[in-house]
Amino acid sequence: MFEKAMYAPYHDTSFAMGAKGLNVSSPWMSLDVEVDDDRKNALTQLVAKIGEGRDEVLREAEAQEFLSFFAGFPLVHALPRKLALAGAPTYASAAPELLAAKGPREFLAAINPFDDLVIDEAFSYFDATWRWDAREIEDASRIPGADLFDPLSAYTAIRARRLQYQVQQSGLAQDLLARVKKLRASDEASFFGVLATLLAQQYYVTRECCSCLDPAIAHHALIRDQILAYKDEELHHDRLILKSIRELSDEDTKDFFFAPEVRLEIEVIKYAARTCALGFSALVSIMEGTVYPESDPVGDILKESSKPSAHVGVESHFQVNKRGNHTAIPEAFVMELPPVTQQTIAIATRLAEVTILLDTGLARTMLQRLEH
C-alpha cells in the first residue's frame, strides 16, 4: 500500500558526536549510542550534513539508514510515504460530538457520564477553545500527489506536538514528586496515604483498560488483531497496582478517590475506541508513556520508605510494560492503517489535545490535594 518509510529528525532532536560515541537528545529524552572508532569520522560528517536539514540530504540512502535506526524512539518524524498502489483503500472517521465542540470543556461535557462531575468546575483551568492547529499535522503528513494523509506520519507529528506540551507542563509533575519525597521525611503516615491515592489513579486506568480496548476491537477491524494482542498483555495489571496499595492502605476500593482527569481521560479513550483508529492509537501512546527509565519513579520513592515491599506491585507492572516495550505498541496499530482523510486528521488531533490536557492536569489536582 505504502512505499518504505523515511524519517527526519524532530525539530527538537539533536545529534552530537563525542569521545564515547553518539548522543541523541531532545527535551523529553536522551540516548547514547556506542560507535566503533573506525566509524566515528564518517558518522561525524553525516551528523553534520543531517543537521543542515536539507531535504535532499535527508533522503539520501546513507542518511535514511542512520535515521531509521531511531524509528523506535520518539526522536524522529516519519515523512509522508508515497502510495505504492493506485486505488488504495481510504480510512475515514466521524466524531460529531468532538467536531461540534468549540473546545475541550464543551467536548468533555458532551461525553461526561458522571453525575457528580460538573465539567466547567472540574476543568475551569482548561482553555475554552481548541488550541492545536490540525493544519500543522496535515502539512506534516500529506501524501505526495494525493489529497490524503499518511497515518504513520500523522501519528509521529501528533506525538511531537504532545511531547512538546508535556515538557512545557513537566514542572507540575516534578513539583509533585519533590513534595511527596519531602512528606516522606517529615510525616511518613501522611506520605503513605498520599501514595495510596496516587497509585489509585493508576489502579483506575489499569482496571478500566479492557473497557477501553473492547470497543476498539469491535469498531476498528483494521487493527483488531493488534488490539487483541495488546489486551492479552494488559489483563490483570490492576491487581499488581492494588497489591502496592494494600501495603499502604486498608481503604475499600469503592471509597478510593479517582481524580476527574483520570475518569474523563478513560472516557475520551473509550470515545476514540468507537470513532477513530488513528486517534485511538495516539491516545494509547499517551497512556503508555514515552520512555522507560530503569525503574518506576513511584516505586523508587516507596522503596526508600519504611514499607519498601510496597514497591513490588507497581514495579512489577512497570517492568512488564518495559519488557513488552509498550511505548511502541501504537506504531503497530498505525502501520496497519491505509491513507486517512482530512477529517480523520482533525479528529485525531483534537482527541490528542484534550487527552494530554487531562493527563498533565492530574499532577495539578494531586498537588491541590497535598496542599489541603
Q: What is the pLDDT confidence band of residue 88, given thresholds at 50, 70 and 90?
A: confident
Residue whose entry in the numeric block shows the C-alpha cell 535532499: 56
pLDDT in tens, 163-202: 999 999 999 999 999 999 999 999 999 999 999 999 999 9
**Side chain identity at 32, as an amino acid letter?**
D
Q: Which of 355, 342, 340, 354 is nearest to 81 (CA)?
A: 340
**Which helix (H) or strand (E) segment is 7 a member of?**
strand 7-9
> What is the reported pTM?
0.95
> Would you say 2 and 68 are in contact if contact means Cβ atoms under 8 Å apart?
no
Averaged pLDDT, 13-39: 91
CB 192 within 8 A of CB 305: yes
Q: Which residue has the higher pLDDT, 54 or 149?
A: 149
CA atoms within a 13 Å half-sphere pointing along the CA-CB vector of 132: 26
Q: Is it the case that residue 78 has pLDDT exceeding 80?
A: yes
State the pLDDT confidence band at 317, using cuts at 50, 70 and 90: confident
Is 90 exceeded by the pLDDT of residue 366? Answer: yes
Instruction: Read off the pLDDT band of 293 (50, 70, 90).
Output: confident
Would you state the pLDDT for residue 209?
93
- What is the C-alpha to C-alpha distance for residues 58 and 178, in angstroms, rounded to an integer? 42
What's CA 117's distance to the chain center, in Å? 25
The predicted structure's pLDDT at residue 212: 95
pLDDT score, position 268:
98
Q: Residue 207: pLDDT band by 50, 70, 90 thresholds?
A: very high
Q: Over 80: is that where the pLDDT of 124 sits?
A: yes
Q: What is the mean pLDDT of the chain?
A: 93
Residue given cell 515523512 in the structure block: 79
Residues of the chain above pLDDT 70, percent? 100
Q: Is residue 102 scored above 90 in pLDDT?
A: yes
User: Hey, what's the cell of 112?
Assistant: 461526561
Could you tell me if 364 and 125 are in contact, meaning their C-beta atoms sit under 8 angstroms apart?
Answer: yes
Q: What average pLDDT score do residues 228-248 get?
A: 92
